[in-house]
Amino acid sequence: MYDPLYFLVIFMFILSLIVQGKVRSDYRKFSRVASERGLRAEQAVQMVLDYYDITDVEIVRVAGNLTDHFDPRKNIIALSEPVYGSTSIAAIGVACHEAGHAAQHAKGYVPIKVRNSLVPITQIGSFLGIPLAILGVILNTFNLVIIGLALYTCVAIFQFVTLPVELNASKRALAVINETDILTDEERHGAKKVLTSAAMTYIMALATTLVNLLRFASIFLGGRRR
């Protein structure tokens, strides 16, 4: 039987690959371009922290690639090995983005508090949501199907809340970059391009989750109607 959701799932998968390719392409391009001033990524982060009068956040190096993050529990900004010590436009953009998250916590930005509060239920939903729904179908237990789909819906809610958090962190970082001499005007365009491409991955993640949610609901609930 023809189901347009199948084609939508395939389309979203292909689109996700295109977006991921775009992100990697932009990052590679600007990771090969050193900033004119020669600031290292961790120095740029410190300038963002100073701009927002944040004095209690430590900048550390962590192993791996794309492992950059701000940890509010430890109050640290962790920069990955390729980013820490790098003077590239891409590294500075990524590092300053993480400093933007630190600024959000320092200034009491509400969406990031909401997102953090959703982390536990989201982890449960991503791990157990669909398996519970499948188990409900096997056992012919409708309530279990609903619980599974509701848990998986929490993943979509988390991703929806994540969007403004990530966009705002980039906005805060770029605001400081624009008002200081971390990067030149031309270099700022490159940093913005890297962060904009990265933001697209969050949009695609949300869209993909919503399509999957519709597909799973169609399968599990549609089967019950038949």
**Residues with catalytic annotation?**
98
Burial of 104 from C-beta contacts in 10 A (0-12 / 13-18 / 19+): buried
Torsion angle of the four alpha carbons 80, 86, 89, 92, in this order, in degrees rounded to the nearest 10: 50
Q: Tell me the two tokens of residue 50.
A: 């100073």
Largest CA distance in the chain: 66
Q: Which two tokens stand for residue 12?
A: 């979203």
Total Cβ atoms within 10 A of residue 54: 18
* Rounded Cα gap, residues 206 and 8, in angstroms: 14
CA separation, residue 19 to residues 13, 86, 150, 164, 192 (Å): 10, 25, 28, 19, 16
CA atoms within 13 A on the CB side of 169: 25
CB-CB contact of 213 with 7 (8 Å):
no
Question: For residue 96, how many other CB atoms are within 10 A of its CB?
Answer: 28
